[in-house]
Amino acid sequence: MTTKQLVHKATVSVHPEPPFSFVGTVHKPSNFPTTDRMYKGNEYWQSFNWNDTAYGIKMIDVGTFETPNISLEIYSDLETDIGHHVDEIVQEIEFRFDLKSDYSPFLEGFATDPIVGSAIKKWNGMRVSSPYSLYEFLLVTTVLQNTTVKRSFQMMSNLFERFGSKILFDGRELSTFWSAKSVHVVGEEELRELKVGYRAKTLKRQAGEFVGGKIDEFQLRTMAATELKTNLLDIYGVGPASVQYLMFEKFHQYHICDRIPPWEQKIYSRLLFDKELVGEQQLLDEIERRWGEWKMLAMHYLFENLFWLRKTNNIEWLEALILL
């Protein structure tokens, strides 16, 4: 696999809505690691596909909690690419990282909440963000299905190896995602060789839905929650669990939570009830009672805070759930 060097650069200042947590926004400790992005200190890098071109994105935190400021660097192979697309790339980054939303009613309203209060204190201003396009996000939800974290990671690596490529910018080498087209033209059998099992059919069908124009991410973004959900469920391979991830992380519908998948169920059972396993409906009732319209955001703050704690503390029950 050859590595493409991206030598041209444009720099733009981006100003998120205060308050803002850079780390909490660009780095999600709960996500399994992939080679398309990396975070260190006050800097963040990722590959970024836009209009069939592989860009490199670097964000540097040069602001403060109250006066957020990100120095956004866009790297490209061709100078003209940056010139023509810089504005739309900035807009897209602002959307994916949810930089312009106002979380203050939640952050202020629950600052002293007995359960989520300490997570808010630590992560105040953390956004619901996903670095991925809808196509890329669906790859993740597909490899997550009906398996363990370890195998999901293996499937993702195999896909990167087969379809992705590499870029080098700012001294960092990162994997890039691929187009739906490149998967669409490949036979299902060839996909199965990547150890994705029955998901080969899903990967191929989803790629086809993008290529054929059935899925339009930008149109989906204009829809209200109910219509959005219906349309997402209409995508082959998207069921109740995946649609919950999509609605929240990708489309930032942080007032909605009508499903808590098994793995999260175990984790929230501990966080909310200090029990090994509480019924899904009981958990749903509890989060509604405690946080109402902000319930999914509250859950996210709890979740990421827990995985951050894991870095310095040994949380035995959590390790057991991750090793599965």
Partner DNA sequence: CATCAGGGCCCTG
Partner DNA sequence: CAGGGCCCTGAT
Measured between alpha carbons, how far is 244 from 229 in angstroms, rounded to an integer? Answer: 9
Residues 6+ apart with CB under 8 A from 274: none
* Nearer residue to DNA within complex by CB, 6 or 246: 246
Residues 6+ apart with CB under 8 A from 287: 257, 268, 272, 295, 298, 299
* Nearer residue to DNA within complex by CB, 105 or 262: 262
* Nearer residue to DNA within complex by CB, 124 or 130: 130
141 binding DNA? (CB under 7 A) = yes
Q: At what angle do helices 262-273 and 316-323 cross, to 10 degrees?
A: 180
**Closest approach of DNA to the CB of residue 59, in Å:** 23
**Closest approach of DNA to the CB of residue 46, in Å:** 18
Helix (H) or strand (E) holding 13: strand 8-14
**Closest approach of DNA to the CB of residue 135, in Å:** 16
**Closest approach of DNA to the CB of residue 286, in Å:** 20
Using CA atoms, how far residue 317 sits from 265, 303, 311, 322, in Å, is 13, 14, 14, 9
Using CA atoms, how far residue 288 sits from 291, 298, 299, 304, in Å, is 6, 10, 11, 20
Q: From residue 294 to residue 323, what is the string marking binding to DNA with x (rule CB under 7 A)? A: -----------------------------x
261 binding DNA? (CB under 7 A) = yes
Looking only at the bridges linking them, the beta strands covering 3-5 and 165-169 are parallel
Nearest by Cα to 146 from 317, 263, 243, 60: 263
Choose the stretch contacting DNA; rule: CB under 7 A; options: 95-103, 104-112, 255-263, 276-284.
Answer: 255-263
* Nearer residue to DNA within complex by CB, 14 or 309: 309
In sequence order, what DSSP letters do the residues of 148-173 get, joined into one string?
A: -HHHHHHHHHHHHHHH-EEEEETTEE
245 binding DNA? (CB under 7 A) = yes
Radius of gyration of the chain (CA): 20
DSSP-derived letter for residue 178 is -
**Closest approach of DNA to the CB of residue 35, in Å:** 16
Q: According to CB under 7 A, which one of 105, 117, 187, 239 is a site residue for DNA?
A: 239
Q: According to CB under 7 A, which one of 195, 255, 270, 290 is a site residue for DNA?
A: 195
Q: According to CB under 7 A, which residues from 82 to 111 bind DNA?
A: none
Q: According to CB under 7 A, which residues from 20 to 49 bind DNA?
A: 30, 32
Q: From residue 145 to residue 164, what is the string marking binding to DNA with x (rule CB under 7 A)? A: xxxxxxxx------------
Q: Return residues touching DNA (CB under 7 A).
A: 30, 32, 141, 144-152, 192, 195, 197-198, 201, 236-243, 245, 261-264, 323-324
